[in-house]
């Protein structure tokens, strides 16, 4: 399961790029769950419906 970094971030995947740290963060809504990419602890990109797609995008950038 994901690691709680703060009360508003549920990190489900973390990896290190060449110069940055990427976190895939789960955001649960009433009807769906979205995944967002954080880069060096700041919002970078999102909202992805699929965890696999969010990881793929982040790894391609890293």
Region of 51 (left: φ > 0; alpha: ψ -120 to 50; beta: rest) is: alpha
User: Model confidence over 11-50: pLDDT tens digits?
Assistant: 999 999 889 999 999 998 889 899 999 999 999 998 999 9
Instruction: Please give the backbone phi and psi of residue 19, each rounded to the nearest 5 degrees, phi first.
Output: -130, 0
Q: Nearest 5°: CA angle at 4, between 28 and 15?
A: 95
Q: Is the pLDDT of residue 56 over 70?
A: yes
């Amino acid at each position: 399961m994901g690691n709680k970094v703060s009360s508003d971030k549920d990190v489900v995947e973390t990896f290190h790029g060449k110069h940055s740290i990427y976190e895939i963060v789960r955001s649960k809504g009433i009807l769906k769950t979205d995944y967002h990419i954080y880069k060096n602890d700041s919002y970078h990109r999102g909202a992805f419906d699929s965890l696999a797609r969010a990881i793929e995008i982040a790894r391609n950038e890293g």
